[in-house]
Chain A
Amino acid sequence: MVIYAGLQFENSCEVGVFSKLTNAYCLVAIGGSENFYSAFESELADVIPVVKTSIAGTRIIGRLCAGNKNGLLVPHNTTDQELQHLRNSLPDQVVVQRIEEKLSALGNCIACNDHVALTHTDLDKETEEIIADVLGVEVFRQTIAGNILVGSYCALSNRGGLVHPHTSIEDLDELSTLLQVPLVAGTINRGSEVIAAGMTVNDWMAFCGSDTTATELSVIESVFKLREAQPTAIVEEMRKSLIDSYV
């Protein structure tokens, strides 16, 4: 399956809060039951490492850390043990870096893929430099639909991106130009606007919360290009009802 829908972490459909998925690794929160972990494991075990962890003693790891295949950034309140555990479990080419930043929910402040990152407008200059360094990306300070928490309202992969539904067409165009990927405004988990909290995605796989409707799934499938092999005609047809902009 390229989309794993119907995922729940302890009866909450906010998958993106409790997990972080990149092209090189996957982080999963420690939950009461093993169902959440085994969902990821079943799909990803032979491809990338799936690591159970906590950050700063919390389970909301998806919103606290930001990363891509090159590196992982964790907030200043991450404990040393957690940091060590991460460094041990993740592949060597992934640089794990702890940042001293007053905005500690890095997952909410930074949306990134392997080439480009969007950040909160009030982020420190040093943090920006560290991001550019560690993650190897180009950093842009942006807002999405007037919201400064770009990390929460946008889910990004190297193939496409899903943003807040109230984003205007001009904004979409601008962001798309910056990010160099097609963007679509849509919803997740039955009309929720907080996209990144409801799902997590990488180049070939997406995990969505249990409340996601079929319409939303089809939108995700098409924008992140997750379909196995598709004749162009069907894609073109779908595109009529979506707003895309290509570079």
Chain B
Amino acid sequence: MASNMFVVPQTRGTVLCCKCGISMAPNPANMCVTCLRSEVDITEGLRKHVTIMHCPECDSYLQPPRTWIKAQLESKELLTFCVKRLETDLKKVRLVNAEFIWTEPHSKRLKVKLKVQKEVLNGAILEQSYVVEYVQQDHMCESCTRIQANPDQWVASVQIRQRVTHRRTFFYLEQLILKHDAAVHAIKIKQMDQGIDLFFANRSHAVKFVEFLGKVAPTRSRHDKQLVSHDSKSNNYNYKYTFSVEISPICREDLICLPPKVAASLGNLGPLVICTKVTNNITLLDPLTLRQCFLDTEQYWRHSFKSLLGSRQLVEYDIFNIEVVSPEYNLGGSKYVIADAEVARVSDYGKLFYIRTHLGHLLKPGDRALGYDLYGANSNNIELDKYKGLVLPEAILIKKSYEEKRQKKRGKPRPWKLKSLEMEVDEFRGRGNEQKVESDYEEFLRDLEENPELRFNLSLYRNREYQLSEMVSVSDGDDAPSVPLEELLADLELSEQEDGEDGMRE
């Protein structure tokens, strides 16, 4: 008899299996596993053949009643899906393991080996594995059917417009959309005159896109719907939804004359201001006093003023003399220095202007700058007329010109490149516009080179065709600004992305 403090170690003996007589450790059924298996089949009553629906177009499988699950062959999602189809069966037994058995990809059969456990015969737990065969039946899913029937069918569309003569905003917008993958769900993208149209299959995708636009640009939108069909029995209404988004016509580097009310609300900001940055706020800079102000989207649309002069009207000036007047100011990350300058237009050296400029930190005598020629401009602006007794400066310089240096690099490829969205070009746009568009694009690329903060939100990729050696030979002391190589997304990433996408499409 074992006492309380000392426990006798117990070794299990062996018994003979009551059926086949081989020696085994005793278990609740007292039969060896083989005999038990032959005796009891725990997979009895479990389905061994199941039919599943598969859409050949989008490679997805139907989970009744209506969900289509996209899954690759022999993937985790497919395994989860297969096991889920057997849910009712698997309530009776406990699932321990599931794995795929290889089948020919075109055989339309999937085989899954399941290992299950069940309690049998007074407490013994038996583990058994069995194979379930899934027969794949081809059946197009609803969305593929709809696309096949009418490939141009859309449910929601977003029409973005900006009433300006250039397309710089839309180039920038395109890059932003690519960076944030905002147009992933768009069925079609169309380039229109003064804007872009996007088409979506789902209203919520369109709403999401409109919200995205609202975050990156000062926009105003309205929406409408059009009844397409009506099922009177179930009272289902099918609509086509249209969202019209208007982006404010104020762009970077625009010269604006503020309406008196706005100027007053901003603290008497000098009526002539330059727009320095456009996101969902508009940043205005008074070049003569170096005061910066922000206009909210709402605030802008309350007054919706237009710009006085746009970047198309920039004229080149030659700087003869610069005299720094003020110390360096740091306004939101950018430095400005007020200076008096003696300039003349490159096209007409006869007339010299003495003007005040905020680019004192950048310009040196002999430099070239781009600016607005207010002396020569004939502005028909209501707002301007409202200011009685306003003396307009003769010129306002906006930025430094690197035109000469660019001449050297003309024709040579850049070390970086941008991706682009697939857009359908409307035939409406005539041939004459093409040149304009190209020069706009070139301007845009130059803008990117010159402004690091513009680049901040975009992804630039290394241009594989670019040869490094040429760049080295051409470089001289004062070079045109270019994108430093560290900012470029590695070549590897780009190719991986492209190859990866191809791989998945297989």
Min CB distance B28 to A, Å, is 8
Residues of B in contact, count (CB < 8 Å): 21
Other-chain contact of B17, A192, A215, A218, A242 (Cβ < 8 Å): A215
Contact B13 A243 (CB under 8 A): yes
A172 x B30 contact (CB < 8 A) = no
Among A168, A170, A192, A241, the residue within 8 A (CB) of B16 is A241
Interface size on A, residues (CB 8 A): 26
Q: Is B49 an interface residue (CB 8 A)?
A: no
A172 pairs with B13, CB closer than 8 A: yes
User: Which residues of B lie under 8 Å from residue A187 when comparing CB positions?
Assistant: 15, 18, 30
Expressed in whole angstroms, the Cα–Cα distance for A192 and B17 within the complex equals 11
The answer to whether the Cβ of A6 comes within 8 Å of any Cβ in the partner chain is no
Residues in A with CB closer than 8 Å to B12 are 166, 168-169
- Are B23 and A191 interface neighbours, CB within 8 A? no
Q: CA separation between A38 and B349, bound complex, in Å? A: 141
Interface check A193, CB cutoff 8 A: yes
| Measured CA separation A186–B19 after assembly (Å) | 12
Interface of B is mostly: loop
Nearest residue (CB) in B for A170 is: B8
A186 contacts B16, CB within 8 Å? yes
What residues of chain A lie closer than 8 Å to B13, measured between beta carbons? 167-169, 172, 185, 243
| 0/1 interface trace, chain B 22-57, chain A, CB 8 Å (1 if under) | 010010011100000000000000000000000000
Contact partners of B23 in chain A: CB under 8 A: 241
- Chain B residues lying within 8 Å of A219, measured Cβ to Cβ, are 16
CB distance from B164 to the nearest CB of A (A): 90
Cβ 8 A contact of A193, one of B1, B8, B20, B30: B30
Question: Is A186 touching B10 in the complex (CB atoms < 8 A)?
Answer: no
* CB contact under 8 A between A169 and B11, given known A191-B18, A215-B19, A218-B21: yes
Q: Does B14 contact A (CB under 8 A)?
A: yes
In the bound assembly, the distance between CA atoms of A191 and B9 in angstroms comes to 26
Say if the beta carbon of A82 comes within 8 Å of chain B: no
Contact of A128 with B by CB under 8 A: no
Q: How far is the CA of A229 from the CA of B30 in the complex (A)?
A: 30
Query: How many angstroms between the C-alpha atoms of A177 and B439 in the bound complex?
Result: 108
In the bound complex, CA of A241 to CA of B8 (Å)? 25
What CA separation (Å) do A215 and B17 show in the bound complex? 7
Which A121-168 residues have C-beta < 8 A from chain B? 141-142, 165-168
Q: How far is the CA of A141 from the CA of B15 in the complex (A)?
A: 25
Q: Note all chain B residues with C-beta closer than 8 A to A191.
A: 18, 29-31, 121
A243–B11 contact, CB under 8 A?
no
CB contacts (< 8 Å) of B31 on chain A: these are: 190-191
A163 to chain B, nearest CB (A): 10
For B1, the chain A residues whose CB sits under 8 A away are 141-142
- The answer to whether A215 touches B11, judged by C-beta atoms less than 8 angstroms apart, is no
Q: Which residues of chain A from 192 to 247 have any CB-CB distance to chain B below 8 Å in the complex?
A: 192-193, 213-216, 218-219, 241-243
Contact B18 A190 (CB under 8 A): yes
At the interface, yes or no: A171 with Cβ under 8 Å from chain B? yes
Which residues of chain B come closer than 8 Å to A166, judged between CB atoms? 12, 26
Q: How many Å from the CB of B403 to the closest CB on chain A?
A: 97
Chain B residues within 8 Å of A213, by CB: 18-19
Give 1 or 0 for each of B272-313: 1 = CB within 8 Å of chain A CB. 000000000000000000000000000000000000000000
Chain A residues within an 8 Å CB radius of B9: 170
Question: Please, which residues of chain B bring their CB within 8 A of the CB of A216?
Answer: 16, 18
Q: How far, in angstroms, from A169 to B14 measured CA to CA in the complex?
A: 9
Closest chain B residue, CB of each to CB of A166? B26
A169 to B10, CA, bound (A): 7
Chain B 104-123 residues near chain A, CB threshold 8 A: 121
Q: For the complex, give the distance between the alpha carbons of A167 and B12 in Å.
A: 7
A74-101: CB near B (< 8 Å → 1, else 0) gives 0000000000000000000000000000
Question: A214: which B residues are within 8 A, CB to CB?
Answer: 21
Q: How far is the CA of A192 from the CA of B26 in the complex (A)?
A: 11
- Nearest A residue to B11 via CB reads A169
* B19:A243 contact, CB within 8 angstroms: no
CB distance from B430 to the nearest CB of A (A): 93
B12's closest neighbor in chain A, by CB? Answer: A168
* Interchain nearest-CB distance for A161 vs B (Å): 14
How many Å lie between the Cα of A193 and that of B23 in the bound state? 16
Contact check, A171 vs B10: say whether CB atoms are below 8 A apart.
Answer: yes
Q: Is the CB of A215 within 8 A of B14?
A: no
Chain A residues closer than 8 Å to B29, beta-carbon distance: 191
Whole-angstrom distance from the CB of B8 to the nearest CB of chain A? 5
CB-CB under 8 A from B8, the residues of chain A are 170
By beta carbon, the residue of chain B nearest A141 is B1
- B12, B13, B30, B121 pick with most chain A CB within 10 angstroms: B13
CA distance A168 to B9 in the complex (A): 9
State A185–B15 Cα separation when bound (angstroms).
Answer: 6
Residue numbers in B under 8 Å from A170 (CB-CB)? 8-11
User: Is A168 a contact of B30 with CB atoms below 8 Å?
Assistant: no
User: A242–B16 Cα gap in the complex (Å)?
Assistant: 8
The smallest C-beta distance from B56 to any residue of chain A, in angstroms, reads 53
B21 in contact with A165 (CB, 8 Å):
no
Q: Mark B174-201, 1 if CB is under 8 A from A, else 0.
A: 0000000000000000000000000000
How far is B11's CA from A216's CA once the two chains are assembled, in angstroms? 22
* Min distance, Cβ A196 to any Cβ of chain B, angstroms: 16
- Complex interface: chain A residues within 8 A of B26 (CB): 165-166, 185
For residue B17, which residues in chain A have a CB less than 8 angstroms away from its CB? Answer: 215
Among A166, A214, A243, the one with the most B-chain Cβ atoms within 10 Å of its Cβ is A166
5 residue pairs A–B, Cβ–Cβ below 8 Å: A165-B15, A165-B26, A166-B26, A170-B9, A215-B16
Beyond A166-B12, A172-B13, A191-B121, 9 extra complex contacts between A and B, CB < 8 Å:
A165-B26, A167-B13, A169-B11, A169-B13, A186-B15, A215-B16, A216-B16, A219-B16, A241-B21
Closest 6 A-B residue pairs measured CB to CB?
A191-B30, A215-B21, A168-B10, A165-B26, A165-B15, A187-B30
Binding site for B on A (CB under 8 A): 141-142, 165-172, 185-187, 190-193, 213-216, 218-219, 241-243
Instruction: List the interface of chain B (C-beta within 8 A of A).
Output: 1, 8-21, 23, 26, 29-31, 121
